[in-house]
Amino acid sequence: MQNKLKTHLITTELFLKGSSFYRGIVLTVAIVLPLAILNITNLFEFAPAIALGTFLNAPSDVPGSLRRKINGILISILLTLLVSFIVFVTKPYFILLLIAIAIISFLVSLISVYGFRASLISFSGLLAIVLTLAVEKTDIKAIVLHVGLLGVGGLWYLIVSLLSNWLFPKKDDDQLLSDTLQLTGEFLKIRAKLLTKQNKREKNAKKALILQTQISEKHETLRESLLEGRKRSGRSFSNERRLLIFISLVDIFELALANSLDYSKIDSIFGLHKSHLIVFKKMNKVLGNHLIALSELLIKKGKLPNLEQLNKTFEKTETAIQDYVDVVTLPEARDGAIALRNLQDYQKQLLQEVKAIRRVLKKVKDNTKASLKIKTSQQFLTSQDYRFNILLQHFSLKSPMLRHALRLSIAIVFGFLLGSLLDLKNAYWIVLTIIVIMRPNYGLTKERSKNRIIGTLIGAVIAIIIILITKNTTVYMILAVVSLTFAFSLIQQSYKAGAAFITLNIVFVYSLIDPNAFSVIQYRVIDTIIGATIAIVANYLVFPSWEYKNLDAVIVGVITSNGKYLQATKALYHNKEENNLNYKISRKEAFLAMSNLNAAFQRVTQDPKSKQKESALIYDMVTLNHTILSAIASIGSYILNHKTTSASKEFDTITESIFNTLNNTASKLENNKITKLTTEKETAQAHKRLQQHYENLSQKRDMAIEAGQTQIDNKALLNLQEAHLISNQLLWLKTLSTNLTNAAKKYKSVFN
C-alpha cells in the first residue's frame, strides 16, 4: 500500500513539474490574461474573440524546433482567419453554409499529408469552423472586427509561447529525454522477460514492438529539437549535455535491438540449465529500473540513484558463466558459454552507456561523443517534403488520407444537419465531437469515442455535484480556470481525463452566463454521444480504409531499408572510420521504417475482427522484418564496439546473397522484375568455410585446454566471439530472408 502511494505521489510530482502541465499553464494564462485586462479597462467586448484566437492557434505549438513552431503558428493563424471569415459570410444562407463546411473540412483535412505538425494546423482549421458556428455575427463590419481580433489572439499566443520558451527554453527537451529514458527502461525490462519466459514470449514481443515504435517517435522529435537547436544557437554546455544523453539513448536502443537473440536456439542450448540465465535477466531489469530512475531526475531533480546494485549484479554474470562451464564442461559448454559471454558483453556496453548518462547528469564535461559537426548532424534529420505535388499524389481513392478527408467532411455536414433539424441547443457540439474524435483509423476513432463519452460523463457527474453544493460564481470562475489548465495538460496523456476536465470547464463557463447549468450538462452529454456515434459509424461505412489494405508500401519500405542497412554494415566491416556516418544514417532509416511497420500492425489489430484479414500472416511479416533488423544490428553493433579482424570474402558473399534476397522480395511485392538471382551453392560453400573457421578456432582452444592453459587470452576470446557471432548471425539472416520471401509469396497470393 505504501509503495502504491509513493508511486502515485511521484507520478503526480512528475506531472506537475513536467512540460505538459507547464504548457497547460501557459495556454491558460494566454487565454485568461486578455480577459482580465480588457475587463478592467472596460473593453471586455473584444476579449472573447481574442481568447478564441488564442485557443484556436495553440494546437500546433508542440515540441520540436523553434523555427517550425513559429512557422506552424503563423500558418495556423492565416488558416483560421480564412476559415472563420468564409463560415461567417455563408452563415446566413443555410445551403451555402453546408457547402462551405463540406469543402473547407475536406480541404483542411488534407493538410495532414504534410506530417504531424501539419495535422495539428489542420485541426485548428477544423476547430475554427465550430467556434465560428458558435458566434453570432451578421454585420460585415462586426465579422471583419471579430476575425481581426482572432488574428490578434493568435499573435498574442505566439508572443506568450516565445516568452515561455525564453523563460524555460529546455522544458520540452528535458521532458522528451525523460520520456525516452523511461520508455527505454521499460524496453530493457520487457527484453529481460523474453530471455526466460517462453510461454509469454509472443505477448511480451508484441509489447516490445509497441515500445519500440514509441521510442523511435521520441528519437525523431529529439533529433529535430536538439540538432536544429544546435544549428540555430551553436554549441553550449547545456545543449551538449542533452545531446550526449540522446546519443547514449540511441546507442542503448541499438544495443537492445542488436541483442534480439534466436530464442529457439537459446531454449535448445540452455534447456535444462536456464537457471544460469536468471542473473542476465536480472541485469537487464536492474538496468531498466536505473534508466527509469534517471528519467525522473530530469524532471524533479535530486540525487543520482546508487550504482551498487548495478555493479554487484554485473559481477554475478561472470560467476554465472563460470558456473555454467563447470556444470556442463567444455567443449560441450562452448556454444552456451560464448552465448553468455556475448550477452555479458552486451550488458557491459549497456552499463557503460548508463554510466555515461549519469556523468552527464552530474554535469561532468565530456564532449567526446558530442563532437558531431553541424553539417554532419543535419543528415540525421528527417526532412518533411512540403511540395504541392505531395498533395496531388493523394488525390486518389486509394489514398487513406483522401478517404479520411471525404469521410470527415461527410460526417461533419451530417452531424451539423442533424443537430439543426432536431433543433438541438448548441448543435455545433456534435461537430466539435466529430472533429476531435474522428481519425483515419477505425480502432483509434472507436477508442477515442469511448474515452470521450466516459470522460464527458465523469465530468458531468462531478459538475452536477459541485453545482448542487454551491451556487457561488466565484467558485465557478476559479474552477473554470483550473479545469482549463488540467484539460490542456492531460489531453495528450489521458484523453479520458482530458475530456472530463473539458466538460467541467464548459459547464462552469456556461454557468457564469446561464444560471440553468443542468441544461448545459444535459445537452453536452447528448451532443457528445451523438457526435461519437456518427464518428464510429462513418469510419465503418463511409469510404472505410482498413489497415491491411495499406501495408504493401510500408512492408516494402522496411525490407528496402533493411537491405541498405545490411550493405552499410558490410561497408563498416571493411572500414570503420570511412563508413561510420553512412552506417549510422542507414541504421536510423531502418529503425524508422521498422517503427512505421510496427505502428501499421498496431492499427491492423485495432480494426474490427472481420476486417483483420490474415492478421497472423501480417504478424509473421512484421516479426520476420524485425528479427532481420535485429540480426543486422547485432553484427553492426559488434563491429562498432570491438576490435575486429578483416572482413572475409565469405562474409561479402553471404551478405550479398541476403541483400539480393531482400531486394527480390521487395520487387515481388511491388510486382517488379527480380533484379538479381542469388547463387545458393556459392553461398552455402561460403558459410561452410565460415563455420570451419570457427571450428578451427574451437579446436585450437581445446588443444590449449588439454595442454593446461585453462585461462583464455583476450585476443583468442575476441576471435572466438567474432567468428561465432558472424557465422551464426549470417546463417540466421539467410534463413530469415528466405522465410520472408516465402511469407511474401503467401502474402501476395492472399492480398492480390
- Flag whether pLDDT at 179 surpasses 60: yes
Domain span at 652:
547-751
Coil, strand, or helix at residue 516? Answer: coil
The answer to whether the beta carbons of residues 184 and 291 sit under 8 Å apart is yes
Same domain flag for 10 and 146: yes
Residues 6+ apart with CB under 8 A from 716: 697, 700, 701, 704
Listed residues 508, 539, 570: the one ending a domain: 539
Domain containing residue 704: CATH number: 1.20.58
Confidence at 558, pLDDT banded by 50, 70, 90: very high
pLDDT value at position 2?
A: 60
Is 696 within a domain? yes
Phi–psi pair at 637, nearest 5 degrees: -65, -40
Give yes or no: residues 361 and 503 share one domain: no
* Count of CB atoms situated within 10 Å of the CB of 542: 17
Distance in angstroms (rounded) separating the CA atoms of residues 417 and 410: 10
Look at residue 380 and tell me if it is in a domain: no
Q: Are residues 189 and 93 in the same domain?
A: no
Burial class (CB in 10 A: 0-12, 13-18, 19+), 160: buried
Report if residue 184 sits inside a domain.
yes
Note whether 522 and 565 are same-domain residues.
no
Q: Does 427 share its domain with 346? A: no
Rounded CA gap, 599 and 410, in Å? 27
**Residue bearing the bigger pLDDT, 268 or 243:** 243
Shared-domain flag, residues 20 and 159: yes
Q: Do residues 9 and 115 both lie within one domain?
A: yes
Is the pTM here over 0.85, yes or no?
no
**pLDDT number for residue 706:** 67
With cell 461537430, the residue in question is: 431
User: pLDDT of 677-724, one tens digit each?
Assistant: 556 777 878 878 877 877 777 777 777 766 666 666 677 777 777 777
Residues 344, 401, single domain; the answer is no
Chain segment 287-346, per-residue pLDDT in tens: 999 999 999 888 887 788 888 888 898 888 888 888 877 777 777 777 777 778 878 888
Structure confidence at residue 153 (pLDDT): 93
Residue 613 CB-density burial (10 A; 0-12 exposed, 13-18 middle, 19+ buried): middle
Domains in the chain, number: 4
Per-residue pLDDT reduced to its tens digit, 88-123: 999 999 999 999 999 999 999 998 888 788 888 999
**Domain ends where: 518, 539, 560?**
539
